[in-house]
Amino acid sequence: EPATILPPSYIIGSITWDIKDKVLEAQKTEPDPGNGPPNQIFVLSTVRASVIQWAHTAKFSLHPGVGRTVSLIRRFFWWPSLFKDVK
């Protein structure tokens, strides 16, 4: 059995990518406009509330405020009105 690098007490939580799958599935109806930051996935309006909910309630985010929520979302996703929508 492989050994872990960190002891279990150091692990806060794992990231689940269900939200990424949901965003990519939504893009099948309307593709990414291609004008966003590199390495970030465009989020359609139909799933933005889900992305915000994911970032705001994720175990590893520790119930952040607007700034941390936006920062977490921007690590993976983007849309033009992101800050306004989170606020």
Q: Which residues contact 77 (CB under 8 A, 6 or more apart)?
A: 23, 40, 41, 42, 43, 51
In this structure, which amino acid lies at residue 17? W
| Structural domains of the chain in order of their starting residue, each with its CATH number | 8-86 (1.10.340)
* Rounded Cα–Cα distance for residues 38 and 44 (Å): 17
pTM reported for the whole predicted model: 0.73
Return the pLDDT at 62: 61
Average pLDDT per consecutive 10 residues, the chain (87 residues; last block may be shorter)? 65 65 92 88 95 80 76 92 93
